[in-house]
Structure formats: structure tokens, C-alpha cells
Amino acid sequence: MYTKILVPLDGSPLSEGVLPYARFFAKQLKVPVELLQVIEPHTVSIFSDPEHGRYVDVVEAALKSSSRDYLDPVAGSFPEPSAVDCSVKIGDPAEVIVDEGSAQAGALIAMATHGYSGIRRWLMGSVAEKILRATTNHLLIVRPTGQTGTSGVAGLESVLVPLDGSPLAEKVFPLVAILARKMNLEVVLLRVYAPPRAAYVADEYMPDLTRISKEIRGEAQSYLEQRVQQLQGEGLERVSSLLLEGDGAGEIVDMARRTRGSLVAMCTHGRSGIGRWVLGSVTERVVRHSADPVLVVRPSAPGSR
């Protein structure tokens, strides 16, 4: 399980939209938290002016002190403030966050996908995308809006698990089982399939698309039923499944929106094929558009890319 929750903040209210979920994970999983703020070298150079006594080391010390003044009250807002550490680093935000995460293989990185750019802040949207592609840590991503609160503890009731029928996509199961038990979550397995589409070719045999579509749906439904039985056999009681037709990412986002208190948990890679979607690209689309928190897991498997 996780050994720490690493929460990068850029000082903006939007970046703080991840905090209610970070508090929920910390409380339910009983793991320590590290709040991290990264100051870009460019920001240091803006305030540095040797001719007037503003040397780099002095500016860095002042900026770090200001960052800690910001982070300390945030740490106090967690259910167990004594289990929250604050750190300030100088460097490229994405690189620092990835390095901090890789130094602790069991750390969960929890962050918002957007923030405001400006003095002492970095553009969380682009940073989150870089981290999504680069980190090997699990990544909890929240896309807050202007109405998203930053106080209190979020409430999650279910975990939505998108599947494409591949073994790689199923590597999220052990984590989902732990979260379901510790957080008292219902598990909903979701598979989205695309119906076959006809292409008109003169004087050519046209396949029976109705029959093929029925076969694809039947195969997908059977697959889901087997996975439900598998998880129930491992001791999970509240497990259900849902089969939808349409666009993979769009259906996942819409289903999460319709499901109260939902967390989407999915892998970054899968295998494409008949009736399947490429899970890597789907994950990125879900992260960009979901208004619900998304837990991204990159499985380490031979041959995975």
C-alpha cells in the first residue's frame, strides 16, 4: 500500500482543489502526507539583483520561507496535522515532482490538473500531463473548477474500474480491492465497446453487422461477469458491472459524472483489438475531461510500453 501521499501545490486555489481528496485518502489509508511547493529557477532570477544586495541565495531563502508560510496552514487543515510534512524545492516542477515520487516507490502523487501561472506558480495543466507520462508512481488527479471547494474531507462511495479486456488493464485489481476494503467503496467494473461499422463496397459481400455486434456484446458481458466473480471470490461483496456502447473515454467520463461520489481507477496502458480501446490514450482523455478524481496506475509488466 502507499507509504506517503505527495501533494504538489502551486499556491493557487485551483491547485488546492485536490486537498479534500488528499485528506480523504490520508484519513482512510492512515498514511503520512508531504506538501510540496516547487520554485522555478526563473522566478529566483526575477527577484535577484546583486547590485542592490539581492543575491541568489538570499532570494532563494526568502522565497522558501514564504512558501513554508503558505504550506504550514494547509498542513494544519488535515485530520492529522502531525503526520503532514512541508517541503520546498528549487527546480523544474515536473522534474522535481517525478524525482520526489521515484525516490519513494510507494508514494501516491495527488495533484490538480490546472492552476494559474505567474510569479512563483507553474501551469499545473502542462505539469500534470508531463507527470502523467513520466512518473512510475500511482497518480491521483483531480480537475477542479472555480466552484470546487478546498476545505474539508471529500466523500467517496464507489470506485469505477474501466476495462478493455486485457490482462494489463486488470493489473489495477489488487489496488482496487485494497481501496474498496479500507474506504468502504462499491466496485463497479465498466467496459465500453464500439459496435462494428459498415463501409460500402460495391458488389462486395456485406457482413451481418447485427450478428457481429451481438457477438461482441455477448463476449464483453461474459468477460465482465467472470471478473465480477473473480473479485467476489477474493472477498469483495459489493461488486457490480456495467456494459456500455460508445466512445471509451466519453462513456467513462459520463458514467463517473452520473455516479455519486465516484473515483475512477484505471491503468495507463492496455492492448488494442476488436471491441477494445487503447487504454493509454483513453486514460489521458479521461484525465483531461473528467470532473471526478482519477487514480492512474502504470503497471510494470514485460512488454508494456
Q: Tell me: the pLDDT tens digits for 14-39? A: 889 999 999 999 999 999 999 999 99
pLDDT at position 183: 97
CATH for 31 = 3.40.50.620
SS3 content of the chain, % helix, strand, coil (to 5): 45, 20, 35
Averaged pLDDT for residues 245-271: 87
Nearest to residue 176, comparing CAs of 130, 227, 250?
A: 227
Residue 230 lies in a domain: yes
Looking at residues 212-239, what average pLDDT do you find?
A: 94
Band (116; pLDDT cuts 50, 70, 90)? very low
Are 68 and 123 members of one domain? yes
Residues 100 and 174 both lie in one domain: no
Mean pLDDT over each residue of the chain, to the nearest integer: 85
pTM of structure: 0.86
Does residue 198 fall inside a structural domain?
yes
- Let me know whether 25 and 136 are in one domain: yes
Res 105: pLDDT: 82
pLDDT value of position 51: 62
- Does some domain include residue 149? no
Which H or E run contains 31?
A: none
Looking at the structure, tell me whether residues 138 and 186 fall in a common domain.
no
Model confidence at 209: pLDDT above 80: no
- The predicted model gives 125-149 an average pLDDT of 83
150 part of a folded domain: no
**168, 273: one domain:** yes
Q: Which domain holds residue 107?
A: 4-142
DSSP string, 95-151: HHHHHHHHTSTTEEEEEES----BTTB--HHHHHHHHHHH--SEEEEE---TT---S
User: Based on the structure, what is the number of domains in the chain?
Assistant: 2
Whether residues 127 and 162 fall in one domain? no
Residue 271 lies in a domain: yes
Instruction: Assess whether 129 and 188 both reside in one domain.
Output: no
